[in-house]
Chains A and B, each alone.
Chain A
Amino acid sequence: MDLAPYLLLAGLEGLVQASVLMLTALGLSLVFGVMRVVNVAHGEFFMAGALIAWACGAYIPGPPALGFIAGLLVAPLAVGALAWAADRTILQKIGYNPEGTIVSTIGMLYILQQGALLTFGPDARAVDAPFYYTIRTPWFGYSSYKLFTVAVAFALVAALWLLMRKSKVGLLMRATQFDRETALNFGIPVGKVYSAVFAIGAMMAAVAGVLVVPNQQAHYLMGTDPLLLSFVVVIVGGLGSIPGTIAAAVLIGLSDGLLSVFFSPTLAKIVSTLLVALVLIFKPEGLFTVKGRRA
């Protein structure tokens, strides 16, 4: 293939990856920003969203679009409820101790993964896209649904932005993030805010899972890659910084797309994981924030 179409394809792939990544990583970043904890089970919420979307598609009769829309509603609600319960019964009980939370969420990772294996089985589950149209260029074909996911992802991120900036809920979250003690003194129900934030973070991963599933099928092991990539994005963007996370998602998505087209995708992954480690060591506030707080 010539260089120009090669680049075009790499760019498109990168954009699609960036947008899904942005949603997943924002969930992780939100949880870290407000609660100061790292959720290792985040990728499994993504996987759960994808499998629920499959179940909606498979058991709701009618055109595929109906199942897809149902999935878009049911998956985040179910996953959000699950995350809320996990926060109440597990994380709250250990007082959000940072190390303890990592260990507990690793436990949740295993439980969710094996739970999915027991419930849905090991096979990859295909979901019909709500619409089929392949955009044909002279060199290759490209799924129009993939471009649709980009649009939806950006719309959702804009909605989150509004929620955080303009609504009362957002104000409570930001206040808790800014100073937990003062927030408590002002009568903000910090416990409830934490549960809500944990649930919203999981919901974002679930929505990303729903969006991705017509492109790549749902199966119980699919959560690992999004988790690692989200880590990369959140750290490069600066822990807890939303604009930084968005910028990093676009950068990582595009560069991963480009790198993996030109080099081996394994090499691309090695480079990006090393990048995270080095950023944390030498520039812990992230590449995009001027001033930030360290973990």
Chain B
Amino acid sequence: MKKLHMNNSGLTRRRLLRSAASAGVVLAAPGLIRGAQAQAGDAIRLGAPFHRTGIGASYGRWYERTANAALKIINEGGGINGLPVEMIVEDDGTDPKRGVEVMEKFAAEHKVDAVFGHLFSHVVAATAPRAGELKMPYFLCSEAHTLASGAFNRYCFQPSITDVKSQVSSMAPWISSNLGKKVTLIYPDFNFGYDHRDNMTAAIKAQGGEIVADIAIPPTETSFTRYMPRIPFNTDVIYHVMVGPAVLTFVKELGEHLGRNRPEIFGFIDSLEAVDMEIPQLEFLEGTYFWEAMPRYAQETQSEADQAFRAAVGVDDRGASLDDPKDISTYAHMFSVWETLFAIKQAMEMADYRGPEQKIAMMEAMESISGFEEGAAFPQGDKIFNGKTHQSFGHQNISQVTEGKLKVVHRTSIEDTLYPDETDYTQMSF
């Protein structure tokens, strides 16, 4: 459309029409040509639908950066089965309709070998059934429990990040024995939030505690003080998990409202992903607790793998970008993109994968994997992978804000995160 701007002076309607029409042809053409050109065997193509725009954009930016870093390492090491790995990125606008369209584009036009990297649960919910219909291996980096509950299909996997149900059930005993038994829940008003609400309610009850209030907030909300009076005075612990661009406002207004006589506060780091902890508005968080899948601040016990991961992605010891200390990463989630790529690599190598006709062999190989070992490929830590539910289980961290930094005070065992299987995808046909 650049042409339109440059020709403004001598523009006639007919000329504009003509150039618009030719632009249309040019724009439609790659779909025809590329579709015909894509051929198996010269490279492994992975489709990456990232949230470049919309409410998930903070995450999407870092998912993309992490994926690029991981691919660089994989390709420098000779790719997968000697084939170079290409990544095709499309923006899904954090929108369910666009998510499905992009999945179709990957399957029918780019003819990729697998799709990975979706995070927001409403986009995943819309896209997963379509992935099954298109017979496209679909690797989630999402945390939603929907996969492990059996609602999706055999093509969907979550090989890196632990789902909400196990995160929550491993946190609950620690919360009720260390912080208190009367809990107020604050969560976003969509499926991801309901996962937290339902699982936390069950887990706290199992510990002999009770939920004294549960407050659902629409994800597009920008002002939160009006929700605060619903927090009962007898609350021992406030449990919060918020997502979207206004998370910082939420945490700040929570602090303002509660003041010094606040109850204990336990949050999922989602409430502060991509937000700088060391700003004056957040001083009240000192002493509160956060769940982190992977600690944002380099700990004293930092592993070599964590060090290498930070260096490769370009992130410092505070989880901030090396180029701009004010640009904070989504550190507790983005490792899942990295690890997912290495999990795909492992499954493809087990199946000696060379092209799309071996998709099923690759997925069967993935189902046969029982776990991953901590190391450069899996910097977050050891994992158990359940081939029946297609879900991974890993260590979880509880960090306390100490002098403005997140310090890990408890690391759960993997066993703490396990729960009985709710489905068996291997019984489904491909």
Q: A and B: real partners?
A: yes
Q: List 26 A-B contacts (CB under 8 A).
A: A1-B232, A5-B229, A9-B229, A122-B57, A122-B60, A123-B245, A124-B249, A126-B252, A126-B275, A126-B279, A126-B281, A128-B281, A136-B259, A140-B228, A143-B256, A215-B249, A216-B222, A217-B246, A217-B248, A221-B55, A222-B222, A224-B220, A260-B226, A261-B226, A261-B229, A265-B226
Please count how many residues in chain A sit with their CB below 8 Å of the partner chain's CB atoms.
37
Interface set, chain B 266-289, CB cutoff 8 A to A: 274-276, 279-281
B75 touches A (CB below 8 Å)? no
Q: Which residues of A contact B123 (CB under 8 A)?
A: none
9 closest Cβ contacts across the A-B interface? A122-B57, A141-B259, A219-B245, A216-B249, A260-B226, A124-B245, A1-B229, A123-B58, A217-B248
Q: Which residues of A contact B347 (CB under 8 A)?
A: none
Q: Which residues of B contact A266 (CB under 8 A)?
A: 218
Q: Which residues of A contact B299 (CB under 8 A)?
A: none
| Chain B 324-338 interface mask (CB, 8 Å, partner A; 1/0) | 001100000000000
B368 touches A (CB below 8 Å)? no
Interface set, chain B 304-328, CB cutoff 8 A to A: 326-327
Interface set, chain B 71-100, CB cutoff 8 A to A: none
| Chain A 133-146 interface mask (CB, 8 Å, partner B; 1/0) | 01010001111000
Pick from A13, A121, A134, A216 the residue with the most CB of B within 10 Å.
Answer: A216
Q: Name the one of A13, A58, A117, A216 contacting B57, with C-beta atoms under 8 angstroms.
A: A117
7 extra interface residue pairs, beta carbon distance < 8 Å, beyond A140-B258, A222-B245? A13-B226, A126-B252, A217-B245, A217-B246, A217-B249, A225-B222, A266-B218
* Closest partner residue, chain B, to A122 (CB atom): B57
Q: Which residues of B contact A141 (CB under 8 A)?
A: 256-259
Report the separation of the CA atoms of residues A13 and B229 in the bound assembly, to the nearest whole angstrom.
Answer: 12
Report the separation of the CA atoms of residues A126 and B278 in the bound assembly, to the nearest whole angstrom.
Answer: 12
Please count how many residues in chain B sit with their CB below 8 Å of the partner chain's CB atoms.
36
A10 touches B (CB below 8 Å)? yes
Q: Name the one of A6, A134, A220, A224 contacting B229, with C-beta atoms under 8 angstroms.
A: A6
Pick from A1, A217, A265 the residue with the most CB of B within 10 Å.
Answer: A217
Q: Which residues of A contact B258 (CB under 8 A)?
A: 140-141
B224 to chain A, nearest CB (A): 9
Q: Which residues of B contact A128 (CB under 8 A)?
A: 279-281
B412 touches A (CB below 8 Å)? no
Report the separation of the CA atoms of residues A6 and B327 in the bound assembly, to the nearest whole angstrom.
Answer: 38
Q: How many A-B residue pairs have CB under 8 A?
A: 90
Q: Which residues of A contact B222 (CB under 8 A)?
A: 216, 222, 225
Interface residues of B (CB under 8 A from A): 53, 55, 57-58, 60-61, 218, 220-223, 225-229, 232-233, 245-249, 252, 256-259, 274-276, 279-281, 326-327
Report the separation of the CA atoms of residues A216 and B250 in the bound assembly, to the nearest whole angstrom.
Answer: 8
Report the separation of the CA atoms of residues A266 and B274 in the bound assembly, to the nearest whole angstrom.
Answer: 27
Q: Which residues of A contact B327 (CB under 8 A)?
A: 123
Report the separation of the CA atoms of residues A221 and B218 in the bound assembly, to the nearest whole angstrom.
Answer: 15
A80 touches B (CB below 8 Å)? no
B249 to chain A, nearest CB (A): 4
A249 to chain B, nearest CB (A): 16
Q: Which residues of A contact B220 (CB under 8 A)?
A: 221, 224
Given contacts A122-B58, A123-B245, are A216 and B223 in contact (CB under 8 A)?
yes
Interface set, chain A 223-274, CB cutoff 8 A to B: 224-225, 257, 260-261, 265-266
Report the separation of the CA atoms of residues A5 and B229 in the bound assembly, to the nearest whole angstrom.
Answer: 9
* Closest partner residue, chain B, to A142 (CB atom): B256
Q: Name the one of A58, A142, A221 contacting B245, with C-beta atoms under 8 angstroms.
A: A221
A140 touches B227 (CB 8 A): no
Pick from B58, B221, B223, B227 the residue with the most CB of A within 10 Å.
Answer: B223
Q: Which residues of B contact A126 (CB under 8 A)?
A: 248, 252, 275-276, 279, 281
Q: Which residues of A contact B245 (CB under 8 A)?
A: 122-124, 217, 219-222
A265 touches B280 (CB 8 A): no
A133 to chain B, nearest CB (A): 11
A282 touches B (CB below 8 Å)? no
Report the separation of the CA atoms of residues A128 and B248 in the bound assembly, to the nearest whole angstrom.
Answer: 13
